Structures are given as structure tokens and as C-alpha cells.
Amino acid sequence: MFKKVLVPIDLNEPAFAEQALLLALREVKDNGAELHMLTVVPGFTNSFVAAYFSEKDHNKAVKEIAQKLQDYSHKVMPAEVHPTLRVYEGSPAETIVNYIDSKEINLVIMPAHHRSKIDEFLLGSVSARVAERAKCSVLLLKKNK
Ligand code: ADP
């Protein structure tokens, strides 16, 4: 039913994504869907942050994050499943929405914190922004604190 499924991965909380990946795997196995895993590195595009890093350090950090995503994928995915793994830099919600549009993703599965309105206001919510702006279906998996 869904041809392309995206699970955005926050590498600070990898275990949080496991339930989302299990559901995505069902789409892969039962319906032959393509699985995409995307990690967004916030910060480097911010000129204040970028001023503290040389281009070499920056490239090294992005490579390390890409390796971390690959290691994570190898750990949680069955050997026969080969997801598309991508690392981008920028604002997580905006980058995820752009990725959905450009790759014509049909379903996004995201774990979401169960935050109070005030926490959401103070911390921002990637999942809420993606759900609001994505043109495709979005499945939010709520996790209690
Ligand atoms: P919430 O949106 O529930 O308040 P978060 O903002 O921490 O909580 O993010 C929830 C989900 O958003 C994560 O499980 C992940 O799918 C996605 N996400 C958050 N940050 C990133 C990131 N840097 N790269 C990719 N996905 C992210």
C-alpha cells in the first residue's frame, strides 16, 4: 500500500526508533515497500556553530554520523533488508519535510514524545511540525515520559 516509507532517526535516542522500524519493516516485508532512514545534523548550518569548526572537522563529524547511522541500521535491520540511509544538515523538521517531497515518500513513521504544551513550546516538536506540514501520511508513535 505504501511504496516508500521513511523513519527519521534521532541518533541521540536510537532506541526510541525501534518500534517505528518494526512497523516499517512490516511494510517492507508484506508489501515490498522501500525503507528510508534519515538523520539530520542540526547546528552546522548555523553560522555561530560553524564558526567553531574547520571544514575538515565538519566533514569528519558528518562522516562519523553517517557511519553511526550505518552501524545502527546493521544492528537493527535483518541482513536481507537494505534501507536507503541519508544524513543531511539543517533544521530537522524542515529537512524531513523536504526529503518527503523530493523522494515522494508515502508514509512517515515517527516516535513522538508525549510533551505538555509548555514543553512543546519551549523545546519545539519535530514530530508535530512534520505531521502538520508533510503532504503524505504520518504515523506518530506516542511514548510516555
Ligand atoms: P517530539 O517531536 O515528539 O517533541 P523530538 O523533537 O525529540 O520529539 O523528535 C521526535 C522524532 O522526530 C524522533 O523520534 C525522530 O523521528 C525525529 N527527529 C528528531 N530529531 C531528529 C534528527 N535530528 N534527525 C532525524 N530525525 C529527528
pLDDT, tens digit, 9 for 90 and up, residues 45-101: 666 666 777 778 888 888 999 999 999 999 999 999 999 999 999 999 999 999 999
Residue to mutate (ligand 1; options 86, 118, 126; most atoms within 8 A of CB): 126
CA distances from 7 to 32, 48, 56, 61, 116 (A): 16, 29, 29, 22, 24
Q: What's the whole-number average pLDDT of the chain?
A: 89
pLDDT value of position 76:
94
> pLDDT at residue 145 above 60?
no
- 69: CA distance to ligand 1 center in Å? 15
* Residue 110: band (very low, low, confident or very high) from pLDDT cuts 50, 70, 90: very high
**Higher pLDDT, residue 117 or 90:** 90
Kindly report the protein residue whose alpha carbon is nearest to atom 27 of ligand 1. 10
* Residue 13: band (very low, low, confident or very high) from pLDDT cuts 50, 70, 90: confident
Give the CA radius of gyration of the chain.
Answer: 15
- 80: CA distance to ligand 1 center in Å? 27
Look up the CATH number of domain 4-142.
3.40.50.620
* Residue 44: band (very low, low, confident or very high) from pLDDT cuts 50, 70, 90: low
Range 57-70 burial, b when 16+ CB lie within 10 A, else e:
ebeeeeeebeeebe
CA distances from 42 to 23, 56, 62, 70 (A): 26, 17, 11, 18
Residue to mutate (ligand 1; options 6, 127, 130, 141; most atoms within 8 A of CB): 127
Nearest to 9 by CA among 110, 136, 80, 78: 110
What count of other Cβ atoms lies within 10 Å of the Cβ of residue 137? Answer: 14
> pLDDT at residue 114 above 80?
no
Which percentage of the chain shows pLDDT scores above 90? Answer: 68
83 lines ligand 1 (CB under 6 A): no
- 14: CA distance to ligand 1 center in Å? 10
